Structure 1
């Protein structure tokens, strides 16, 4: 099974978008899957279901920090690498989808739906989110392959 297929499997099992992305690569980056799933729990549906930054992006950005980040706040090389890869990831995702903002990607404001108790077709949302998880995982996978060359 490829990493992209694994990310989609996690999403299909009921994990949110951030959890699905981070869990896919976490052990390769030195973090136990169980810890990664807990860490990313609040980042689904645009962080706390607020429709802000897509969780598939949040999960990816956490991974770049995990793999290339440093405990030293003065490590400029680490910071440069993390920011470079993170910005590259965001740009590639935006090239595909036009934005990284959850409510804009979905075409609905998740937060206002919960506040008004409006009914929505969850299957349509999950179908869109499935693509966001797939694309974010693909971008990470491609960057990892490039770094191995």
Structure 2
């Protein structure tokens, strides 16, 4: 497993330089770190940006982490779908809890204050410096998820 700090930086790089959204960045960076380099993963995560379809709901950095945690659960080989779901839900809850503790919120709207329904949301996103703020969320979620998987998965 790659150093979690480097995974956070890789996710941030995808977000800043490759124009991936928050969910795509976290899910892809963590997946690569644990040995999954599936080209379909960013496509699966695309609609999660902006708080799920630009609704301002749960932060895409969290949903990307949850997707990657699901890949980690698959590596455990539990052979029982109910046990896999329980473990995935447990880990997802932990991510939401630590993210909320770190940033005081878990929704995109509360974290950055953007109304994605507004016609000029991209302008406001730039003016408010949201890219830099979102980069912190992406880095944190990816690094935490990678550290968690390193500790929990053999």
Shorter chain as denominator, the TM-score bin is 0.7 to 0.9
TM-superposed deviation, 1:29: 4.8
The residue that corresponds to 2:85 in the other structure is 79
Counterparts of 1:139 and 1:12, CA distance in 2: 19
Counterparts of 2:53 and 2:153, CA distance in 1: 35
Alignment of 1:1-40 (within 5 A): 2-13=6-17, 14-29=19-34, 31-40=36-45
Counterparts of 1:26 and 1:141, CA distance in 2: 9
Counterparts of 1:77 and 1:29, CA distance in 2: 21
TM-superposed deviation, 1:31: 4.0
> Is 1:109–2:109 an aligned residue pair?
no
> Is 1:50–2:66 an aligned residue pair?
no
Provide structure 1 residue ranges, at least 5 long, that are not aligned to the other structure: none
TM-superposed deviation, 1:67: 2.5
**What root-mean-square deviation, in Å, do the aligned CA atoms of Structure 1 and Structure 2 show?**
2.5
> Is 1:131–2:136 an aligned residue pair?
yes
Indicate conservation of the 8 Å contact 2:56/2:116, yes or no: yes
TM-superposed deviation, 1:66: 2.5
What TM-score do you get using the length of structure 2 for normalisation?
Answer: 0.82
What TM-score do you get using the length of structure 1 for normalisation?
Answer: 0.84
Q: Which structure is higher in RCO with an 8 Å CA cutoff and minimum separation 6? A: 2
More off after superposition, 129-138 vs 26-35? 26-35
Provide structure 2 residue ranges, at least 5 long, that are not aligned to the other structure: none
